[in-house]
Amino acid sequence: MQIQKTGIVMVGVIGLLAIAGRSQSAQPQWAPNDWAKEETLKLCTNDPGEGEYCFKVWLVVVDGDVYVRLGSKAADRMSKNATGMSLPVEIAGHRFEHVRATEAPDKVEGVNKAIGEKYWSDVFVHLMNHPLTLRLRPEDAAASR
């Protein structure tokens, strides 16, 4: 009887370890080149007076990094974000909780060109003010580069 109980416990422990290993491997991977054809991503800011607010923006992948170009209203949301330039990002059905948004003034021209090539309606949209171009990287990758 004792051997049977021990066997059941061992099977249970092995099953839990397998589930835990599977859930860890199921974590989404930051893969910019896989998202080059995605139309939009969502930036999620947190204004202390309003809570979390997620909004869609166009994205482009330039030199292996994800970039977004923000208009005045979205740039204002970023400046009021309770967590500064770290925020959740939703892309391709995945949510990444800790993404670092870094201003990229050196990439403005390249990002504008890439957006113009990817989105036909940018022929009109580019005429609006876009004061902020951001490079997006997961927190751990942003710290290592």
Averaged pLDDT, groups of 10, the chain, 145 residues long = 57 47 67 97 94 96 97 93 96 97 96 89 65 92 46
Structure tokens at 144: 């290592």
What structural domains and CATH numbers belong to the chain?
A: 32-144 (2.30.110.10)
Q: Are 79 and 101 in contact (CB under 8 A)?
A: no
Where on the phi/psi map is residue 64: left (φ > 0), alpha (ψ -120 to 50), or beta?
Answer: left
pLDDT of 144? 38
**What is the torsion angle, in degrees rounded to the nearest 10, for the CA atoms of residue 14, residue 20, residue 22 and residue 24?**
-150
Where would I find the H helices in the chain? 2-25, 72-79, 108-118, 122-125, 139-144
In angstroms, how far is the first alpha carbon of the chain from the final one?
58
Give the whole-angstrom CA distance, residue 51 versus residue 7.
50
Do strands 40-47 and 51-58 pair parallel, antiparallel, or not at all (unpaired)? Answer: antiparallel
Q: Token digits for 90?
A: 């939703």
What pLDDT is attached to residue 17? Answer: 44
**pLDDT value of position 75:** 94
Nearest to 78 by CA among 60, 110, 103, 112: 103
pLDDT attached to residue 58: 94
